[in-house]
């Protein structure tokens, strides 16, 4: 079982510039390695409240400050990107980090990148399917011949630099069954984003993924991960006062953009419950929840999204996640 941290480099503190926030993210990643976590992920967004529009650049900086932790996008919005450039970026990161890079591709839950790079939301799924096809073709190595609707063709071209190993490519899925089937039939590791509601409702997706792996004649041990928001603290009363208002403000802001209602008190308590999507509280409580989720879905990795509060509080949460939650999870899963 692997445990990791993800971030979108959210700018949550007044007076903190994007540059300062990105430097904080590097410090958070260094701490994640120091406390023994397995992976650190940076997500791509193109918004004023999130500073990481170029995850590979951020992760390359982290690579220069670390030695062991794996470095992943979380996610790369492949639909609006050039797969050739994405492949080059992550191969370069892999070479710089001595084989620690992972590329996690997704369609994107935010849409700012589509008009920015000249794409129509009407082609949302077609863009992703075509660009994933090209990315996987490039990963096979050698001269690539390929053509599609959204990018100029390649005619026997080889992309450089070449990797020293097969670049790991994951698919991030928000819960759409078609996306789950795509990941499984292609034999790609999958990360389920469980952001709201009850995590138990995602058990059918885990089962569908494994049936799709079997249908695609892929390795049945292909990893499955879950990505969820969380905050670890020793004093839950103080943690509620510190974390929950910021957590609600984030989701209420996104809700206003998308026409969703504000989070009610009942909704907050539901995600805090043992089967809720928020991994909040004392290390024992968070570990119990991760263990239950892992056993129910058959996970190989859990990634906690560290956000909503300032840098100092995030650092405390990461430290507790690595030093207290992770050993408890390992101990209980091995019992």
**Which regions of 61-143 does DSSP assign to beta strands (E)?**
70-73, 76-77, 101-106
What was the pLDDT predicted at 261? Answer: 86
What was the pLDDT predicted at 251? Answer: 87
Cα separation, 293 vs 302, in Å, equals 9
- Other residues' Cβ atoms within 10 Å of the Cβ of residue 21: 19
Bridge-partner residues for 279, per DSSP? 230
**pTM of the predicted model, to two decimals?**
0.96
Cα separation, 55 vs 78, in Å, equals 12
What was the pLDDT predicted at 306? Answer: 96
SS3 content of the chain, % helix, strand, coil (to 5): 50, 20, 35
> What CA–CA distances, in Å, run from 27 to 24, 44, 315?
5, 18, 9
What was the pLDDT predicted at 303? Answer: 98
pLDDT by position in tens, the chain (length 335): 999 999 999 999 999 999 999 999 999 999 999 999 999 999 999 999 999 999 999 999 999 999 999 999 999 999 999 999 999 999 999 999 999 999 999 998 788 999 999 999 999 999 999 999 999 999 999 999 999 999 999 999 999 999 999 999 999 999 899 999 999 999 999 999 999 999 999 999 999 999 999 999 999 999 999 999 999 999 999 999 999 999 999 988 888 888 888 899 999 999 999 999 999 999 999 999 999 999 999 999 999 999 999 999 999 999 999 999 999 999 999 98
Give me the numbers of helices (H) and strands (E) for the chain, helices first please: 12, 12
- Measured N-to-C along each axis, helices 55-63 and 83-96 cross at an angle, to the nearest 10 degrees, of 10
């Amino acid at each position: 079982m692997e445990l990791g941290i993800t971030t979108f480099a959210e700018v949550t503190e007044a007076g903190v510039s994007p540059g300062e926030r990105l430097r904080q993210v590097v410090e958070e990643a260094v701490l994640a390695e120091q406390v023994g976590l397995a992976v650190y992920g940076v997500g791509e967004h193109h918004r004023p409240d999130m500073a990481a529009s170029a995850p590979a650049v951020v992760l390359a900086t982290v690579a220069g400050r670390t030695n062991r932790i794996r470095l992943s996008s979380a996610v790369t919005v492949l639909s609006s990107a050039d797969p050739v450039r994405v492949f080059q970026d992550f191969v370069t990161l892999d070479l710089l980090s001595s084989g620690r890079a992972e590329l996690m591709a997704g369609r994107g839950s935010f849409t700012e990148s589509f008009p920015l790079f000249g794409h129509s939301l009407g082609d949302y799924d077609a863009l992703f399917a075509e660009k994933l096809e090209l990315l996987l073709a490039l990963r096979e190595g050698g001269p690539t011949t390929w053509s599609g609707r959204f990018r100029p063709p390649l005619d026997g071209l080889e992309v450089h630099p070449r990797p020293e190993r097969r670049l790991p490519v994951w698919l991030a899925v928000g819960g759409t069954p078609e996306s789950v089937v795509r990941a499984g039939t292609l034999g790609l590791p999958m990360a389920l984003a469980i952001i709201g509601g009850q995590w138990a409702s995602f058990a059918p997706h885990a089962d569908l993924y494994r049936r799709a792996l079997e249908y695609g004649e892929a390795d049945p041990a292909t990893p499955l991960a879950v990505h969820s928001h969380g905050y670890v603290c020793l004093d839950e009363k103080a943690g509620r006062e510190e974390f929950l208002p910021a957590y609600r403000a984030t989701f209420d802001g996104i809700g206003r953009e998308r026409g969703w209602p504000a989070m009610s008190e009942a909704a907050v308590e539901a995600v805090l419950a043992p089967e809720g999507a928020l991994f909040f509280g004392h290390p024992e409580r968070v570990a119990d929840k991760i263990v239950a989720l892992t056993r129910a879905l058959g996970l190989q990795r859990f990634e906690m999204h560290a956000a909503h509060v300032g840098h100092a509080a995030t650092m405390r949460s990461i430290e507790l996640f690595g030093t207290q939650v992770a050993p408890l999870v390992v101990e209980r899963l091995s019992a």
